[in-house]
Chains A and B, each alone.
Chain A
Amino acid sequence: MLSLFRISLISVFWIISSHLFAQELAVTHIPEELKKDANSVIRYFNHSVEITPRYQMNETIEWAVTIFNASGNYHMMPGGFYNNNSRIRKMQATVYDANGRQITRLRKRDIHDASVVTSSNSFTDHRIKYFDYSPGRYPYTIVFRMEYSGGNTAFIPIWRPIQSSNQSVEKSSFQLNYPSEWKLTKSERLFEEYQIEREHLSGIYKASAKSIPVINEESNAPAYGLMLPSGRLSLNHFQLEGYKGKAETWQEFGKWYYNNMLKGRDNVPTSTIREIELIKSQVGNDTIEMARRIFEMVQSKTRYIDVAIGIGGWKPLTVETVDQMGYGDCKALSFYTMALFRQAGIPAYYSIVHAGNRPVDIDTSQVAIQGNHIIVCVPLADTTLWVETTDQSIPFGFIGTHSDNRKTLVIKDDGAIVKRTTIYPDTLNLRKSQANIILLEDGTIEASVKIRSYGIRYDRKYLLLNTRQSDLEEMYKKRWSYFQGMTVKNIELNNDKISLSFEEAMDIEARSYGSRSGDRILIPSGFFSRNQYIPPRYPERINPLVIDRGYIDQDQFKFIIPEGYEIEAIPNIDKIETKFGVYHLTIEKEDDRTIIINRYLWVKSGTFKPELYSDYQQFRRSVASLDQSNIVLIKTNQQP
């Protein structure tokens, strides 16, 4: 009775506030500081969520966003996602012009319904309803109201006042009403920094933000999502796809997850058991080798398809299904691989991770469903292996930049633990190259090149084995585009799946390299290892500098000059040693026609204060410039 009253109060509140706000929608009401660098401004955003003791989640979202230009159109957010467990009850939209006068009210026939798929290897019953609106003028303001209800309460919507780059916020608020006997945990990011007010009484949580200007993205900074204020809530009682749960610790959560999502779905078909037994008999006690062989078997008989249907949205397909269909998504393939490992007596666990190029940890301070990817954890006596199951070419035990160096949640039968995935330290990420180069009198250059990549430098190299010859040749030509008229021949690739290193060897011929000036030839000494990346300038850097992964280059080139020429000058380059890295280029004459170049570059991983950014930029500029240091050759005088 009490909660009903609360609901109707909220509805009345919305009706009144919408009326008031409509008049204030004129663009002139937006403070100047919020317009700077903004493609859109959120005028107000009110998200109210109610969770009932019967595990129903009802939401009302009302927001108004002013869009200034075409780049801001995707900020319109003209719709919402829904599926069988979370339905859209109501959807309204009205468009206003720059003066706050209504232009149009979008009608039911303007609502489009589509499934959230982009490709033919993606099945889902997640759908989206959205208004197909094409603006006729800028700026314009679009006001939305949506109402949802459903039975999944395990994932309480995250509140993000700012939702994308080049967006500012006038007002944004969030409210959660929940049964007061339940316990709420909250993870509040950057609330102090942005003066976000909040109030937490028994059964009600409120947060509101005001006047947040555009938060500019800077490159080589912490992950952008982590720089935006956000609030995530979770309750110790929840329901997911019809399964109720109670968890206050990761232990309890893991147990619930295992029992409801994974247990009983791992029956391995007899034919596959036989294959595993066969491998076992060939491999004996070597656990790693056994795991490798089983992993490669899975790779050869399955492929990745994105399946996010109903229960498939949270539960993986059964082992039997994957075995029969030969495909699955990351949940299904990881679950399948895990079950096969266990069948062979190898410890293996289903692990939830935030996958992506930037290492982002699972937030362990809050027990809640997080992450976007599943991998398999194989904890052995003296090492822990992490297994990526969605890539058929990836070698066993290598996870690359997709899932490295981040805290993940490992689901055990009786709980869950937090573990960090493989770290690829700077010293491991080595690329060694070696080349013999001959410059001919007519300017043509011939070289045989060998490159070996280790650690994170190995990432995705193994995909080159599947690349067609002509595409490989184009790739090398682009990589070394400062050689003119290059042809690439005799490409040999070697993938060492045990030591996780990759070797590329080839013969290069090019029409020219470097430059001619009168009787002189200038040859940049970096040859096949010129590091040309220079980070952008930020005269007033705000964010710390973050280099996620460091690496080392070690190169040796032997360069033979043409007949009829002599070495006029060899650059003498000082070693650079900074907190960002080390660079050393030595160029030495071996004899009158042979020059040996030794190059060493170490770019260090780390986090640095914003004030140091320009020093980093300077370091990278120096490296790029010194890699082009010229050796000067001059035509020998023909003595009369």
Chain B
Amino acid sequence: MKLHLALILFFIATSSLSLANEPNVRFRRIPKEDLKQTSHPLDPEAEAAILYQSCRRSITYNRSVGFQLRTRLHQRIKIYTQDGQSWGDFDIPYSKDAQFARFRAYTYNLEDGKEVEIRLNNRDIYTEDVSQFTNLRRFAMPGVVAGSIIDIDYEIVEPARSSFQPFIKQHTIPVDYSEYIVDIPEYFIFNRSTKGLPLIMDIQNSEYNEGETFIDSSGNSYRVTFKVSRDNYIAHNVPALRPEPFVPSMSNYQSAITYELSELHPPHSRTISFSRTWGDIVRSLMEDRNFGGQITTRIRETESFLAEITDLPEIERIEKIYYYVRDNHEWNGNYGELAQNGVRNLLSERTGNIGDINLLLLNMLKSSNIDAKPVVMSSRNNGFLNLAHPTYQQLNYLIIAIQREENMMLLDATDKNMLVGYLPLRALNLDGILIESSNSGKRIEIENPNKGSKQTIAIIQLNDDLTINCTARLTYLNHSSIVKRSQIRSHQNEEEYIKSLMDKHPSIDITSYNVEGLKDISNQVVETFEFTSNGYIEQIGDMLYISPLLLWQTDESPFKSEKREFAVFYPDAGIETYLITFQTPEGYKIESTPQPVQMILPENIGSMLYNISISDNTIQIHYRYIRNETIVSPSNYEYLRDFMIHKIEKQNERIVLRKI
């Protein structure tokens, strides 16, 4: 009886253990089933998977050094295929002032049914110096093959920081179990936020007491007990996140947890407040000599230039200052809303980061009595701004805003191809924070002022030998003119550009070419050219088949997937119109022409209009394609895909002539 009872109790005890959230995972103890596994049960094509990931961060006190951040990570990775073997190669970034308190890594393989363990030797670990502040610990696990399991456990200790590296919950391979445990003493108040696709997570909070001996500024030591709060984020079976096209940055969707310090309550000292609201961040920025300090500083070198334009109307002053800054300075490729070297340095070296160049622009605009304001934001490749959780970390870009009547003019002088009021693609990332005063900011939408437009007018003559002569005039307005200008300028010279056009459309022979608006600061580029071609007419028997849109026909749809999970992000919106006139040759009559059609996408995303008019000796195609939105939600993807298919089919329809 007693024995039975004991057994029953034992079973209850063990089963309640297995019901607990945390799997019973111990370093270097690999369950045999895991080693035997040949593919992931939920994602059979995955090349590898993270079986277990546990990251514990804690801020602890060290008598000689002060508060430290300890990060401990235990990660277990399973390799399924040869392609997955690269998951056995590691690059662990860490700050130069951090140290590895512990580091162990092992590979496990199954050989003849027995587990074989291989340890990573210290001499096979390399340290790389990657930047001013960061090192990389680089190593390749030994003996990694399809089926291997890698077990890594390490601890990094560094001075306590005001923000932690985001803990990424989701990867390009599945994650079976992930926990992130953060212990923070009551002296620190952190803002926590999660970003990316919402993951089902089990979030537990608890508290415990700690005791420490502190030494204050006068050298006195005293014993204190304080509370430590523990946050535990647990996720099970996180699916892999793979890259998709037409997405500005996959990091927008990759689930991650960030911590940023908002208040410090040191024992026996004053509270120090850090950023909590966008207003706080704005205040800090404006007080920073690498930001606010750059805006108001007097720059003598620009005074004569500003004096010369002082009598011009405001819009002209804006343009002159913008082009002056744009044309005389080179962006060095570094992002950052803060000035890297300062506006004075920018004027003498003529090269600087985003902050340097656009702060100079702001400085000069204000010196010319223009009510310009800075807008801080996150660049397109850096992920969307998380407006609900104001942090410094997210910001890395700066543009300038000028409110003129109802319109908000947005300026970025770091791209030589931009016109005043237009932003390069890297600056288009939904929203930014407009700094209205020294301590307030508000969200604004960031977009280009209008849609681009491309208008094509072509007149085509059909010759007896089935070649065509065409005269074309292409007018690019607004944003389209910027795109075209950049495209032409990316070639060595005009000759090379024309050659590239002919290489792209091998059946045309451009006999004359002229372009206007290339050098001007105008929002219009006009190309006129003439060409001959033998490629757009096919003779079969008595019939002539003509491709009406010539070289302007869309060949393939960019949307090949049947389904899509994420919104589609276009770099721009715009209107394309074509007016193509064919002069019908003698000896032929019209057998059939494409039918007119109009297609409209839901929610005003876009439309297509195709009209054809026939007179005695001409056939005229009027084709218009409008795209209104730069963002299309995934629920509209199938309509978008369908629309593209129909668009291409319509463009493909021929004009058929019959020999009389």
Chain A interface residues toward B at CB < 8 A: 37, 39, 104, 113-115, 117, 119-121, 123, 134-137, 166, 300-301, 303, 305, 324-327, 392-393, 466, 468-470, 474, 477-478, 481-482, 484-487, 511-512, 514-520, 522, 534, 536-537, 568-569, 571, 621, 624-625, 629-630, 632
14 sample A-B contacts, Cβ–Cβ < 8 Å, listed by A number = A113-B129, A114-B130, A135-B330, A136-B349, A325-B143, A392-B85, A468-B45, A469-B45, A511-B645, A534-B503, A537-B503, A571-B540, A629-B538, A632-B543
Binary interface encoding of chain B residues 220-262 relative to chain A, with 1 for a CB under 8 A from any of its CBs, else 0: 0000000000000000000000000000000000000000000
Closest to B556 in A: A481
Flag whether B145 is at the interface (Cβ < 8 A). Answer: yes
Chain A residues with Cβ below 8 Å from B130 are: 114
What is the size category of the interface that chain B forms with chain A? Answer: 35 or more
Interface residues of B in 576-616 (CB under 8 A from A): 591-594
Bound-state Cα–Cα, A326 to B89, Å:
13
Q: Let me know if B350 and A136 touch, CB within 8 A.
A: yes
Task: Indicate which residue in B140, B545, B655 contacts A121 across the interface (CB closer than 8 Å).
Answer: B140
Q: Let me know if A517 and B654 touch, CB within 8 A.
A: yes
Q: Let me know if B655 and A517 touch, CB within 8 A.
A: yes
Q: Let me know if B652 and A393 touch, CB within 8 A.
A: no
Binary interface encoding of chain B residues 516-547 relative to chain A, with 1 for a CB under 8 A from any of its CBs, else 0: 00000000000000000001001011010100
Q: Let me know if A487 and B128 touch, CB within 8 A.
A: no
Flag whether B86 is at the interface (Cβ < 8 A). Answer: yes
Bound-state Cα–Cα, A517 to B654, Å:
5
Task: Indicate which residue in A113, A484, A518, A537 contacts B649 across the interface (CB closer than 8 Å).
Answer: A484
Chain B residues with Cβ below 8 Å from A534 are: 503, 506
Chain A residues with Cβ below 8 Å from B56 are: none
Q: Let me know if B592 and A518 touch, CB within 8 A.
A: yes
Q: Let me know if A301 and B145 touch, CB within 8 A.
A: yes
Bound-state Cα–Cα, A478 to B559, Å:
10
Give 9 A-B pairs besides A134-B333, A515-B653, A516-B653 with Cβ atoms closer than 8 angstroms: A114-B130, A120-B138, A135-B351, A301-B145, A303-B85, A484-B649, A485-B641, A518-B656, A537-B502
Bound-state Cα–Cα, A484 to B593, Å:
21
Q: Let me know if A327 and B142 touch, CB within 8 A.
A: yes
Chain A residues with Cβ below 8 Å from B328 are: 137
Q: Let me know if B649 and A478 touch, CB within 8 A.
A: no
Flag whether B557 is at the interface (Cβ < 8 A). Answer: yes
Bound-state Cα–Cα, A621 to B535, Å:
10
Task: Indicate which residue in A135, A393, A621 contacts B82 across the interface (CB closer than 8 Å).
Answer: A393
Chain B residues with Cβ below 8 Å from A120 are: 89-91, 138, 140
Closest to B92 in A: A120
Chain A residues with Cβ below 8 Å from B492 are: 37, 39, 166
Chain B residues with Cβ below 8 Å from A629 are: 538
Task: Indicate which residue in B90, B128, B129, B557 contacts A484 across the interface (CB closer than 8 Å).
Answer: B557
Bound-state Cα–Cα, A515 to B649, Å:
7
Bound-state Cα–Cα, A632 to B143, Å:
61
Flag whether B81 is at the interface (Cβ < 8 A). Answer: yes
Chain B interface residues toward A at CB < 8 A: 45, 81-83, 85-86, 88-91, 118, 124, 126, 128-130, 138, 140, 142-146, 328-330, 332-333, 349-351, 492-493, 499, 502-503, 506-507, 535, 538, 540-541, 543, 545, 555-557, 560-562, 591-594, 641-642, 645, 648-649, 652-656
Bound-state Cα–Cα, A9 to B146, Å:
62
Bound-state Cα–Cα, A517 to B350, Å:
59
- Could you say which of B333, B538, B540, B562 has the most chain A C-beta atoms within 10 Å of its C-beta? B540
Q: Let me know if A519 and B592 touch, CB within 8 A.
A: yes
Which 9 A-B residue pairings sit nearest by Cβ, starting from the closest? A136-B350, A518-B592, A134-B332, A515-B652, A481-B556, A326-B143, A136-B351, A517-B654, A120-B91
Bound-state Cα–Cα, A487 to B645, Å:
13
Bound-state Cα–Cα, A303 to B147, Å:
14
Q: Let me know if B645 and A536 touch, CB within 8 A.
A: no
Closest to A124 in B: B126
Bound-state Cα–Cα, A113 to B545, Å:
64
Closest to A392 in B: B82
Bound-state Cα–Cα, A166 to B655, Å:
45
Contacts A134-B351, A166-B492, A569-B543; A326 near B145 (Cβ below 8 A): yes
How close is A335's CB to chain B, nearest CB, in angstroms? 18
Bound-state Cα–Cα, A305 to B141, Å:
11
How close is B518's CB to chain A, nearest CB, in angstroms? 16
How close is A511's CB to chain B, nearest CB, in angstroms? 5
Chain B residues with Cβ below 8 Å from A324 are: 118, 142-143
Bound-state Cα–Cα, A478 to B557, Å:
10
Q: Let me know if A121 and B126 touch, CB within 8 A.
A: no
Q: Let me know if A123 and B126 touch, CB within 8 A.
A: yes
Q: Let me know if A466 and B349 touch, CB within 8 A.
A: no
